[in-house]
Amino acid sequence: MAKRLEGKVVVVTGGGGGIGRAVAVLSASEGAKIVVNDFSRGPDGSSAADKTVAEIMGSNSAAAANYDSVTSVAGGEKIIKSAIDAFGRVDVLVNCAGNDQRDPNLELSEEDWDRVIDVHLKGHFACAKAAIPHMIKQQGGRIINISSKGAFFSGSWAYGAAKAGVMGLTASMARQLAQYGITVNCILPSAVTPLFPHSRKSSGDGMPVVADLRPRPESIAPIIVYLASDEGKGINGRFFYSSGGDICVYAPPFTMSSANTFIRKTGEWTVDELSGILPPLAGA
């Protein structure tokens, strides 16, 4: 059976753990060559990026590690250069790098605000800015951004602002880059990860209570792999909630549409299942 990402080079920021690691591993299993970006290290000093790379290469797939920060344009350029140097191209960018704000909002320092905005919003911009010229030359590419329902329901001002900014950036990039065959979509995930070890039943947004109270990061990866594939080329500028077996295709912003489409299955979605379900729901 043909693999959906055969011959493609996928860059995953924050790929050392959580959702980023799950995306990197599943993308490799679908035939992609992976650049795993992560500067974090464990208590023993081991590199998170190296661990994911070793896992991928242990399955006879190709991967390379990058340790640069996403928080500057220079860092974004180095991350994408790692893909060009290792594999000669970049087809897919998945922006998974993230952090969080723990301090009370009224005590939030300028440094803490910048730390959150720089990783999330500026990080998405920096990596996309470096990747887009290569995608234009190749006449196509995929960018998948990670936002959050926390953009509107988080108690953290910095995190909410950053994630709302990612959604705005996604919409703007999608419109402007479509002419080059580049799609830009956004995932609003909910999963138990090292950054967010607790999962809530509801965030107060009227969505149905999640079926799986401890959804795995691996449950988010299939929809990202689908959007990264050639099958997903007709989907652009859309926002998807994903958690365990739950998916919501949000109505496009600033349109007359008033209804979101919510679907649920028992267990977690596979890429094969999504390939038959997402196109009509997303208007592809």
Query: What would the pLDDT profile of 219-234 be if each residue is shown by its tens digit?
Result: 999 999 999 999 999 9
3-state secondary structure of 206: coil
Q: Which amino acid is at 272?
A: D
Residue 1 counted as domain residue:
no
% of the chain residues with pLDDT over 70: 88
Per-residue pLDDT tens for 80-124?
Answer: 999 999 999 999 999 999 887 666 788 889 999 999 999 999 999
Please give the helix or strand (H or E) that residue 241 lies within, else none: strand 239-243
Q: What was the pLDDT predicted at 255? A: 59
159 catalytic per annotation? yes
Residue 110 counted as domain residue:
yes
Residue 23 counted as domain residue:
yes
Residue 3 counted as domain residue:
no
Highest averaged pLDDT of the listed ranges 18-27, 200-209, 247-256, 264-273: 18-27
Residue 85 counted as domain residue:
yes
Contact present, 240 and 186 (Cβ < 8 Å): yes
| Residue 153 scores a pLDDT above 80 | no
Contact present, 199 and 213 (Cβ < 8 Å): yes
Q: What was the pLDDT predicted at 123? A: 97
Q: Which two tokens stand for residue 179?
A: 């002419």
The number of domains in the chain is: 1
**Cα distance between residue 215 and residue 47, in whole Å:** 25
**Cα distance between residue 53 and residue 16, in whole Å:** 9
User: Phi and psi (nearest 5°) for 137?
Assistant: -60, -35
Print the domain residue range for 77: 9-281
Q: Does residue 264 or residue 80 have the better pLDDT?
A: 80
- Nearest 5°: the CA angle 74, 76, 81 is 95
Residue 4 counted as domain residue:
no
**Given 159, 226, 241, 250, the catalytic residue:** 159
With cut-offs at 50, 70 and 90, classify the pLDDT of residue 259. low
pLDDT, average across residues 50-65: 97
3-state secondary structure of 88: coil
**Mean of pLDDT over the chain:** 89
Task: Specify the CATH number for the domain of residue 80.
Answer: 3.40.50.720
pLDDT, average across residues 116-145: 97
% of the chain residues with pLDDT over 90: 68
Q: Which two tokens stand for residue 274?
A: 């999504």
Residue 135 counted as domain residue:
yes
